[in-house]
Chain A
Amino acid sequence: MSLTANPKTKSALDKVLLDNTLTPQVSRKRENPTLHVMGTGLMALAPGMLFAAAIEWGSSTSHDEWALVLSAIISFVVGVGLRTTTKIEADLQPTSVFSIVAWTWVACSVVGALPFWFGSMFGWGSFDAALFEAISGFSCSGSTVIPDIEANGRGVLMWRQLTHWYGGMGVVVLAVTVLPHLGVGGLALMTAEAPGHSSDRIAPRVSETARRLWTLYLGVTVAILLALWAMPSVNLYDAVAHASATAATGGFSTYNNSVAHFGSVWVEMILVTGMIFCGISFALHFRALREGPKTYGRSGETRWYLYLLFGGIAVITFLNQVTLDVDFGTNLRDSVFNVTTLVSSTGFANARPDGIGDFVLWAGAAQMIMLGFMVIGGCTGSTSGGSKVMRARVLAHQTVRELKRLRHPRGVFTIKMGRRDALPETIVASTLAFMAMFFFVTLFGTIAVAAMGVDLLTAASGAISSMSNMGPALGEAGPTSNFLAFPRPARMVLATLMLIGRLEIYAVLLMFASMTKSIKLRAAAAANSTGRP
């Protein structure tokens, strides 16, 4: 863009650069929304780290409290520094929003990895492992590279659980407010779909919307926490840890056996309820609080989500009953838990010696269905991952429409979702493009991982699981295993996929766009000032 452009049409970014380069600065604060929001995010991490340090200090399970305190100080100081030296411009461009979201997530993951790195979890030579764990936490994936979880201190493990909770906080606002507003991958459909659970109807301002959503998120977490704490086999620490992971549909646990450690069907049912709830749009929950539970029935996506969930449970239970030597009660319990954990993209495991919770040992057809669940995931506006039920609906409708067109090539067919008018073609195209992108990125991830010597099933399911922020994969990286099955470079590929999947692909792909544009404009400004063409 030329610097001689009409001042009325120039973007805010252009204004920033022009002001910085051609006119004297009025304020000492530099306009940089990315660094400003990043600073806020880093500051917010510090209380969580201090809370975890207090637990560590109180439990005396290890001496990682200093790692947590040091990380909290770094996080706070860097956060304050960034926040006080920068400010947000008035008119943000879409590229800036993508940049803000993606870089903040990356920064939080890097700083969030510090307690794992400074502490005794991995050691100084394994920052990549610490970073993987943090990215997995903040992206609410739940994949782990810790060989023995229970050998670590309670505080550092609590921080690990809190990375999920922080990630969930970010996801809620991102999924309900930011991405639909930008129309990422057809998410504008959220505002078009009946009964409409768009963010702008929750509150007039984004900050107010975020505040209300976080209140709801906190309420859900507390509800799950109290329900878990009421169980005799769960103490307060475990309740907090697992409630955080459930609300964020993350999947980290403080035990090697994950949820199977409790050996309680009631604990599993509480978690199942929590996972189902958190797999539904938080904006819809908010609306349901005001308008009653019938709101859920009016949401087509939620209906599809529940059909998918209960249909999946029925089919998987049937397949397991036919193919595995197991009694019906155990089969139903484990099928319900594992289908829910994958549909909601949580990733808890309940593999007990007397059960069938390790779905890697299920029949191939049942594993195929589970792989499908990994791809689809939960609802838009929820904390769950995957390509989302909404997009699966659009794809299904589009396929039917193409078949109709085949029969009647000159017919005009529209896609209707719910009782609303025909879906705009831009949203359909956007959704289809998102799916194409999802497919391409997953394929590249699979090839990259397989190139490092991982077998096809493990590589492909690992890539899908990471893109969908699922947690466990199939093959060598199933629910009773971990991502140590992948070589170190492959783990970094998978961690990147987790970020890409969490930020709905485009944010990560466009995170450099704002920087590139900024560099170009600066170069243009410099050239202009020196009179060079």
Chain B
Amino acid sequence: MYVRYPAAIAFVALGAIAVLSGLLDVTKGSNAAPELLLPGAVLVAIGAYELQRLPTPSAVTATGVYTMVVWGWVVAICTSAPIYLMAQATTRVDDALFESTAGFTTTAATTLVPEDLPRGILAFRALSQWTAGAAALLVAVVLVPTFTGGIERLIIGSRRQAMISPSLRGGIRNVSLLYGSLTAAVLVAYFAAGMGPFDAMTYSATTVSSGGFANHSESLAFFDSATVEWIATLTMFVSAVSAPALWWLLKRESPALVLNSREFRLYLASFVAATSALATWQWGWGGGTAIRRSALAVTSAMSTTGLVAAPLPSFDTGALVILLGLTGIGTMAVAIGGGFHYLRVLEAWGIARRELQYQVHPRSVRVVKLGRKQALSEESLNRTNGYVMLFVGFVTLGAFVVALSDPNLNIGYAISAAISAISTSGPVPAAEGVMIDPGEFHGAGRAALMVLMVLGRLSIYPVILAVGGLFVRLIHLRRTL
């Protein structure tokens, strides 16, 4: 059940977006329609049949939920890769697998040239990111707290959580409403700003999902439109805000509660400070352009989207380091994007600060607070500490494997690539202002980046649990045999 049920859901979702992409391809008279429509229909049929046959999971443990989520993702990635091959978007299996992983982890890293791709595949890429964004949000906001009340319980304040996800069905409805309405609004805004309908659809899908796939190699710079850039900036800024907080604001229950949230204030302060710093550095572009493009680069990094309007190497070195740091931190907790999250930064800072206070008053008893009232338990602090170590450990390990795959690779390049991958961002400035092109990485390096993308998208712990569970099962099986 832990594999078949999520696999069936993945098949249905994947089949649906393949069929939709195929239909879009047909309307534009491209040649990829059959390669998308046929497998899409087959996948939908298989998935629907399986879902009808399998019992709906109930009384699932925390490990069970995590395992299902991880296998759902893995199946989606592995199944969508052949579609790229069939549609002749690429002839290499590793390229297809990388593109598929980037798509379903909402990472803007690609090995393909968008201009060479048929419209159906461009739509398929964009929709895979949109679907993955929606799924990630559903898992974080609804599924995990509902079924386990475990790790993510800390991240979602109980009151805010109750608002957006009163029940399983209510949660799914509210998240769908939030995500769907945001996408629709951005689509209309892009269209009104001068984008064609196809571009408006795909770019809105990849902007809202914090994916970052673009239909043009120049990304947003292709449009050379200040309005488009401001729309993208605003969308990315919003998509990096915690979904329960957004819901709270949307319902106009109490905006002050969100605005007073330490995490939101830190997020806002980071945005303002980073944008100001970048704009000051790049003032030579002209005041308006500097502010606009800096704001876009900052929100792109903070939301881990990866859309760009100015080539990143054109930024000053200090600005690039700030952007890399923001990419590593990523979004607020329980937002659409990835990264380490501002809430964990606050917790880590709280722990460090408490230790500083202990040095002055060794016998005092102090708690780490997120707000005026919300004191964090030692258990949750330990968990954050564990997450920090795993995050840093995986980045280090990933960077090591990437560096190992190419002896001539700059080590700064490898570290930047690893941070970018685990934050599910995409294009990241590396040493000497070089842009990361995943196509440059060799087999093992690429594989490491793909693993990091999946780890980052699913917040590490679920992947470890799922893989750990698999090992335990294998050991049991071996003992039984």
B-binding residues in A (CB < 8 A): 94-95, 98, 182-185, 319, 323, 363-365, 367-369, 371-372, 395, 398-399, 401-403, 405-407, 409, 425, 429-430, 432-434, 436-437, 439-440, 443, 446-447, 450-457, 459-460, 474-475, 506, 509-510, 513
Contact = CB atoms under 8 A, between A and B. Distances in A.
27 contacts: A95-B359, A363-B408, A364-B407, A364-B409, A364-B413, A367-B411, A371-B411, A398-B386, A399-B393, A402-B389, A403-B386, A409-B62, A425-B378, A432-B351, A433-B351, A434-B355, A437-B355, A439-B388, A440-B352, A453-B318, A455-B431, A456-B324, A459-B317, A460-B415, A474-B411, A475-B431, A506-B355
B234 interface: no
A369 B404 CA distance: 11
Given A407-B63, A433-B355, A447-B322, 5 more contacts: A364-B413, A368-B415, A398-B389, A439-B392, A475-B412
Nearest to B61: A409
A454 B412 CA distance: 13
A402 B400 contact: no
A3 B390 CA distance: 48
Contacts of A436: 348-349, 351-352, 385, 388
A457 B378 CA distance: 36
Nearest to A452: B318
Interface in B367-403: 378, 381-383, 385-390, 392-393, 396, 399-400, 402-403
A372 B399 CA distance: 12
Contact of A453 (B316, B352, B386, B388): B316
A319 B412 CA distance: 18
Contacts of A405: 382-383, 386
Given A440-B349, A446-B321, A513-B360, A323 B355 contact: no
Nearest to B472: A407
B403 A432 contact: no
Contacts of A434: 355
Contact of A365 (B358, B392, B403, B416): B403
Given A398-B385, A457-B410, A474-B411, A506 B320 contact: no
A406 B408 CA distance: 39
Contacts of A95: 359-360
A280 to B, nearest CB: 25
Interface residues of B, number: 60
Contacts of B411: 364, 367-368, 371, 457, 474
A266 to B, nearest CB: 31
A460 B412 contact: yes
A369 B402 CA distance: 13
B276 to A, nearest CB: 13
B465 interface: yes
Contacts, number: 160
Given A367-B403, A450-B320, A455 B432 contact: yes
A429 B322 CA distance: 29
A371 B399 CA distance: 12
Contacts of B386: 398-399, 401-403, 405
B406 interface: yes
Contacts of B399: 368
Contacts of A433: 351-352, 354-355
Interface of B: 62-63, 150, 277, 316-318, 320-322, 324-325, 348-349, 351-352, 354-356, 358-360, 362, 378, 381-383, 385-390, 392-393, 396, 399-400, 402-404, 406-416, 429-432, 461, 464-465, 468
Contact of A456 (B381, B385, B431): B431
A182 B318 CA distance: 37
A403 B464 contact: yes
Instruction: Determine the main DSSP class of B at the interface with A.
Output: helix
A321 to B, nearest CB: 12
B324 A368 contact: no
Given A402-B386, A450-B318, A474-B411, A429 B352 contact: no
B412 A455 contact: yes
Given A183-B362, A506-B356, A363 B407 contact: yes
B407 A323 contact: yes
A98 B431 CA distance: 38
A429 B324 contact: no
A402 B382 contact: yes
Contacts of B358: 183, 430
Nearest to B413: A364
A445 to B, nearest CB: 11
Nearest to A430: B355
B321 A451 contact: yes
A451 B319 CA distance: 7
A399 B390 contact: yes
Contacts of A460: 412, 415
A491 B385 CA distance: 32
Contacts of B322: 447, 451
B344 to A, nearest CB: 10
Contacts of B396: 368, 372
Contacts of B412: 455-457, 460, 475
Contact of A510 (B325, B359, B390): B359
Nearest to B348: A436
Contacts of A439: 348, 388, 392
Given A94-B360, A452-B318, A395 B414 contact: no
A166 B430 CA distance: 40
A447 B325 contact: yes
Nearest to B361: A94
B464 A364 contact: no
A430 B385 CA distance: 11
Contacts of B317: 450-451, 453-456, 459
Contact of B355 (A98, A185, A372, A398): A185
Nearest to A447: B321
A425 B385 CA distance: 13
Contacts of B387: 402
Contacts of B415: 368, 460
A460 B321 CA distance: 9
Contacts of B431: 455-457, 475
